[in-house]
Amino acid sequence: MVTDIHSYSNPTESRVRHVELDLAVSFAEKKLRGAATLTLDQAGKTLVLDTRDLHILRVNGSSSGFMLGARDKFLGAPLTIPLAPGVRSVVVEYETAPEASGLQWLEPPQTAGKKHPFLFSQSQAIHARSWIPIQDSPGVRVTYSARIHAPVPLTPLMSARVVRPGHFHLPEPIPPYLIAIAVGDLQFQAIGQRCGVWAEPSVLKGAAWEFADMEKMVAAAESLYGPYRWGRYDLLVLPPSFPFGGMENPCLTFATPTVIAGDRSLVSLVSHELAHSWSGNLVTNATWSDFWLNEGFTTYIERRIQEALYGRRQSEMEFAIEVGELKDEMKDLPPADQHLAVDLKGRDPDDGMTQVPYGKGALLLRKLEEKYGREKFDAWIRSYFDHFAFQSITTDQFVAYLHQSFPNENLDAWIHHPGLPPDAPKISFDFETKPRKAWVTAEWLHWLRSLAEDLSAPKMADLDQQWDFTHAGNSEVAAQWLLMAVRAKYEPAYPRLQEFLVQVGRRKFVKPLFEALVKTPDGRARAQSIYQQARSGYHPITQATVDAILK
């Protein structure tokens, strides 16, 4: 076991191997209440679990009660349980706090259907501890089962196989951040034998059409990197407050509705979350400083899936956009945060979720592909997944395994230094310069970003009159246009800006818009006014991000 600076747990002494949850969902109180039975495969004198704002009611299996330690703003509080001799399971009865950082409780008006409330979790990076007392480290993999008591007529779902309604089981060991729950007015539509979409009734038809290629994506990924090992691959479309584009919860990817563009132009997100079934879920970063092992591999594999299904042109176009976003973000990042192996001591691991582990990590793998040839490198990646299957590993373990096949490869400049090394691949794409309606999202984004950053308001008005960007239905295009509108002080876009920030809680969009607003006194006042209206609808993760911007 590698020491995880973001966990209080003691898996080298007492290690949890299976978690059994029995939880009741109370929308009135905004709480989960019930018990977690933790089965140990090794037990010492004490068991230390991670918690955050949990109310511990009682513990069975302890020799002398329990002790809840002092709360740290990032790590929460350790729950120390003295173990009775011979004990191999502990039952913790508890309830969550209404403000649990890993849960969002939505009122009916905040949903698509407007009739029923909605609950969903987001456990990555260290938010599982806010709704489960657990050894909340990616290095401590567990199997889990659950029984969820949800109010009728709502449907509970989890990142596991459905045994029967409300009962779930996942026999494959996963890191705790992949344990997920959702409860809402949900319906299902199958897409092939292994794939399907869950969504609110009014969203389901459009979502199923948008994600019609899911089964083909699974087949493409399997042909490259080996069998899909999680049974089903379903997708749940969440309300727009979901803080990320997607979350790769096994058996059930959580996805933002902002990728439903009506033209299937944003489905690379599904390729990305599917790729996590190999990189992240099957082989996992052992600590959050190794996060690039999850996201760099996944971004690289996403590109390969996109190429297999939609051609090299589409894949390279999307990669060029991602590399551009990486370079833009690195301009404002401290040098130490541009390392692949990032130092997160004393920090929230969410701070490491920049474009660096995604884009720079993918470029490193692209460099190895170009240097050693695709056929040889593909065989190595497949062997990497087989060798480390269902394990959590460090960057050093990755390097050591790489050196078994490529002994002379020096990756120090990539892993431990800022910026992109001189040998970084040049991802270029010959974008058209004259816009036309047939363009896909990547082309619009490249063209908009290529315009002068100090674009005048009159010029913005001319573009808006021609293309009606202010009312764009594509969320990626809308977010880019609104960012430009803030910089140009283009007032006709301000009502849409407010509407967008109130309705959409996706961190990728929200963060840069608020950061741009606060650069001027008028913009800061506008940001504070909008946030006062929007905050209650944001997930706690997004709230924390914007709170820091506006503090």
pLDDT at 161: 97
Q: Is 51 left (phi over 0), alpha (psi -120 to 50) or beta?
A: beta
Q: Which amino acid is at 313?
A: R
Q: Which of 35, 1, 341, 345 is nearest to 140 (CA)?
A: 1
- Residue tagged active-site, from 144, 358, 384, 538: 358
The stretch 155-168 carries a mean pLDDT of 97
Decide if pLDDT at 1 tops 80.
no
Decide if pLDDT at 551 tops 90.
no
202, HSE (Cβ side, Cα atoms, 13 Å): 9
Domain with CATH 1.10.390.10 in the chain: 287-416
Cβ–Cβ contacts within 10 Å for residue 86, how many?
6
Has 358 been annotated as catalytic?
Answer: yes
The stretch 514-525 carries a mean pLDDT of 97
* C-alpha–C-alpha distance, residues 449 and 203, integer Å: 31
Question: Residue 154 CA to chain centroid, in angstroms?
Answer: 25
Specify binding-site residues for Zn(2+): 272, 276, 295
pLDDT at 63: 80
Place of tokens 């191997």: 17
The one-character DSSP state at 193 is: S
Per residue in 107-150, pLDDT tens?
998 999 999 999 999 999 999 999 999 999 999 999 999 999 99
* C-alpha–C-alpha distance, residues 104 and 120, integer Å: 6
**What string of H, E and C letters represents the secondary structure of 86-127?**
CCCEEEEEEECCCCCCCEEEECHHHCCCCCCCEEEECCCCCC
Q: Which of 71, 88, 68, 89 is nearest to 79 (CA)?
A: 68
Specify binding-site residues: 122-124, 243-248, 272, 276, 295, 506-508
- Residue tagged active-site, from 273, 302, 322, 369: 273
167-176, 238-247, 523-532: range with lowest mean pLDDT: 238-247
Per residue in 345-381, pLDDT tens?
999 999 999 999 999 999 999 999 999 999 999 999 9
Decide if pLDDT at 453 tops 80.
no
The stretch 407-414 carries a mean pLDDT of 95
The pair of structure tokens assigned to 168 is 């779930």
Which CATH number fits the domain 287-416, given the four candidates 3.30.450.90, 1.10.630.10, 3.40.50.1370, 1.10.390.10? 1.10.390.10
The one-character DSSP state at 129 is: G
Decide if pLDDT at 293 tops 80.
yes
Cβ–Cβ contacts within 10 Å for residue 207, how many?
22
CA angle 18, 25, 64 (to 5 degrees): 50
pLDDT at 502: 95
The pair of structure tokens assigned to 295 is 């996201």
* Mean predicted lDDT score pLDDT of the chain: 95
Cβ–Cβ contacts within 10 Å for residue 116, how many?
18
The one-character DSSP state at 442 is: H
Q: Which of 499, 430, 486, 478 is nearest to 457 (CA)?
A: 486
All residues at 6 or more sequence positions from 547 whose CB lies less than 8 Å from its CB, including other chains: none
CB 70 within 8 A of CB 116: no
Beta strands 195-199; 187-190: pairing state: antiparallel
All residues at 6 or more sequence positions from 312 whose CB lies less than 8 Å from its CB, including other chains: none
Has 94 been annotated as catalytic?
Answer: no
CB 221 within 8 A of CB 297: no
The stretch 150-169 carries a mean pLDDT of 97
CB 20 within 8 A of CB 146: yes
Specify binding-site residues for a peptide: 122-124, 243-248, 506-508
Whether the CA torsion 507, 513, 518, 522 is positive or negative: it is negative
All residues at 6 or more sequence positions from 386 whose CB lies less than 8 Å from its CB, including other chains: 226
CB 119 within 8 A of CB 77: no
Domain with CATH 1.25.40.320 in the chain: 441-550
Percent of the chain exceeding pLDDT 90 equals 91
Decide if pLDDT at 528 tops 90.
yes
* C-alpha–C-alpha distance, residues 127 and 54, integer Å: 12
CA angle 344, 349, 352 (to 5 degrees): 75
Decide if pLDDT at 265 tops 90.
no
CB 322 within 8 A of CB 442: no
Under CATH, what is the fold of the domain 441-550? 1.25.40
Q: Where residue 447 falls among pLDDT bands split at 50, 70, 90?
A: very high
The stretch 199-218 carries a mean pLDDT of 95
The stretch 74-81 carries a mean pLDDT of 97
Q: What 3-state class would DSSP assign to 192?
A: coil
**What string of H, E and C letters represents the secondary structure of 327-371?**
HHHHCCCCHHHHCCCCCCCCCCHHHHCCHHHHHHHHHHHHHHHHH
DSSP string, 288-326: GGGTHHHHHHHHHHHHHHHHHHH-HHHHHHHHHHHHHHH
Answering whether pTM is above 0.85, one says: yes
